Amino acid sequence: MLEIFQYEFMQRAFIVGTILSLITPLLGIFVVLKRYSMLADTLAHISLLGVATGIVLGYSPHFTTIVIVLLSAWLIEFLRNRFNLYSDSLLALFLSGSLSISIILISLSDNFNASLLSYLFGSILSVQTEDIWIVSIIGVLIGIVMLLFINDYIYLSLDEEVAQVAGIKVAILNILFLTLVSLLIAFSIHIIGSLLISALIIIPVVSAIQYRRGFFQTLQMAILFSFLAVFFGLILSFYFSIPSGASIVVNSLIIFLFSIWKNRR
């Protein structure tokens, strides 16, 4: 099994996969605790609009994706606070709207090419050295923010109103959190795929929650489950020639099902 590490593309894939397995649960645990799980899926679908916009206009899909995902995330938060809209309804609106516009843009464009499929399903086996650097920088940024504000985010996850009364800057921290999630998704969709990145953010955390441990133990277990899913997902992808992103998510689902079985009452 160790012979796969002789290949540079597998080395890069494992490095990027390991970094993602460390940082996705850091954000995912707060997404789940806030009952905001649809956020990751919504932003992932919005990223498709960014890719489609880039293809249609002839700009870099990476650039347009980052801009559109960030602006959409901030707009979602503004509408949620300004008009007191239910989060799930608002996310459903953006998800369906962005996906519909993406389909229309692509259908009207003569510039459609197979590169869109790489953003849909991703290809962690094709990552380059610059991808490692980008994901590493995002990982360091997420790590610093969580290190500085993790207690505040725990308060926010439990009750925003209580957190605000306690003097926590709820609005600023929410915008910062959405920015981090947006950057993670925008830079990761060509690695894992827009249809699968949300699963990597959510499933390991949900699996860890089944063991009913404290916050930090749950976070550690989520990171472990995420790493195992990436590790075995890449191995299966290499030996059986199956899509790497899908293989990783299927392994996450297997871990989730095992966690439910292990902790059944």
pLDDT digits over 66-109, tens only?
999 999 999 998 998 887 767 788 898 999 999 899 888 888 77
Tokens standing for 234?
Answer: 């890449």
Which pLDDT belongs to residue 258?
Answer: 95
* Residue found by looking up tokens 């993602």 in the block: 20
pLDDT confidence of residue 113: 59
Average pLDDT, stretch 44-62? 87
CB 163 within 8 A of CB 152: yes
Cα torsion angle, 159, 161, 173, 177, sign: positive
* SS3 of residue 180 by DSSP: helix
- The mean of the pLDDT values for the chain is 88
**CATH assignment at residue 144:** 1.10.3470.10
Give the range with max mean pLDDT: 27-31, 56-60, 164-168: 27-31
Type of residue numbered 166: A
Give the pLDDT band (50/70/90) at residue 265: low
Domain membership of residue 156 as a residue range:
2-262
Give the model's confidence band at 160: pLDDT under 50 very low, under 70 low, under 90 confident, else very high. Answer: confident
Q: Is the pLDDT of residue 1 over 70?
A: no
**Once rounded to an integer, what is the mean pLDDT over residues 123-143?**
89
> CA nearest 13: which of 221, 228, 238?
238
**How many C-beta atoms lie closer than 10 Å to residue 172's C-beta?**
11
Question: Which residue reads 């901030």 in tokens?
Answer: 74
Look at residue 164 in the predicted model and tell me its pLDDT.
85
Q: What is the mean pLDDT of residues 178-202?
A: 88
Return the percentage of the chain with pLDDT > 90, whole number.
50
Identify the band that residue 3 occupies on the pLDDT scale cut at 50, 70 and 90.
confident
Number of domains, the chain? 1
- Alpha-carbon gap, residue 102 to 83, rounded angstroms: 26
Q: What does the pLDDT average to over 125-139?
A: 89
